[in-house]
Chain A
Amino acid sequence: MTTQELIEKTGLRPLSKFENRNVEGVYISDMVSDVMAGAKSGNLWLTVQTHKSIVPAANLVDVAAIIITGGKQVPVETVELASKYNIAILSSDLPTFQLVGKLYEFGIGAK
């Protein structure tokens, strides 16, 4: 599934400009150090962290998209930086647990 297909199927709201990527697996963490140590290329990164440093961290490990859960507000500078890096920031009002269930139903499991 690609990022664009994911958006269409799940109703996630794209906040940034992004490169359409194949999505492979999910990584859940609110710590950039944990993401840098454990996330994989193509992962969807689910987090409630919205500080702009999530963008270069996501880029470093080449995640396909960052999903901000729980309806958290994303600062403009985070979105702008993500657009510059062409990394999708998607927003969901669902809590992380519920969103994971939904993604799993679509066949996006942990890699």
Chain B
Amino acid sequence: MSGATLERGIHAFKEAIDAPVASFFSSCVRCGLCAHACLFYTETEDPKYTPIHKLEPLRRVWQHEYTFWGRYAKAFGLSKPVTDEELGEWESLVYDSCTMCGRCSMVCPVGNDIAYMIRRMREGMAASGHAPEGLIGASQRAVTIGSPMGVKLPALQAQIRHLEQDTGLSIPVDVEGAEYMCLLSSMEIMNFPEYIGAIAKIFKQANVTWTISSEAFEATNSGVQIGVSDIAAELVQRVVNAAEKLKVKAVISPECGHAYFAIRWEGPNLIGKPFNFKVLHIMELMDQLREEGRLKTTGKETQRLTYHDPCQITRRGGVVEQPRNLLRMVAENLVEMPEHGTMNWCCGAGGGVSSNERADALRLKVFSRKKAQLDAIQAEGLVTACSNCRIYLEEGLEENNMDIPVTSLTETIAEHLADEGQTGAQ
């Protein structure tokens, strides 16, 4: 990252400290409960992974800049300044062992939203040049190419052509006046392109007009993951420009956790003004269609299925009941993991962790938490609504010799769509 210096990092830390952050630091009583909520601690028992500890450099900046006694201590040379070396040490704590899943924020007795603070701390980490290589590359590609994985329009068009052939349906691009503009994550375009076919089928049945924008098809916001709000805002603005140009009612976020959070909750705040269109996760839209009676399915999955909540969509995003409503339509044996919904355990790969090769070993190690959850209910199938969760759950399951297929919620619904004249029973 050009222009990265400790000075810029400290400055970014200062900018990141708002009333909530100051309140949170003031309230911490060092009870350690956050550690027991974080899979990076519970599966390693290494106290350095205690969530509040990951914020230590930010805390010291808060102390020395925004508390009267801290300022005096600094003036009298009694404070320990944050050093470049220290930020180097903290890089892996902030980026490798945290997905911003927010489970710690749910259990802190004094109410600290630690994930909120980590997001803000990343701004300083990136500005000081202490962010993982993988994320830096992804962000640069996102800005210059339009996709963190370098997926260019011709590649997307090839996938679209293929899916049009497979499904026999047209996949609209750049249609002005469509109700919905659908975003896609690079992970989906590369690893799970059938998602595009699935939504085409669903929208056809529900009689929904939709489109993809050739100018802004990428959902993934690498800027949010690395913590560079300027990049994050640029990526959001592209989507906004396309949505306004195509005059759509709503932008549909695909099966990707952080993409949803970035556009739905951070988006307007990054660009400094409200959107004049709605933002929905594909699950929210499908559930709406279900409620309106426009989604007709047939047949049911019979194996013991469970749903993995992507943290950014459920706990941090607020989409909790919709996947369950949808799955109940097509699954007769849906069971919940012991801790599910807003108290689910993270897959361990979100928030940039999966882009970071250095974090691979740790990420695989902490999968044991998810394994325990699945073992407890003897799950035979796992459904989720985030392609990052999906592929890294697959990896974790494979590493642990667990034979549980992982499928996408949208694709599962699409597979059970009733043909005309066929509804309800098999």
A and B part of one assembly = no
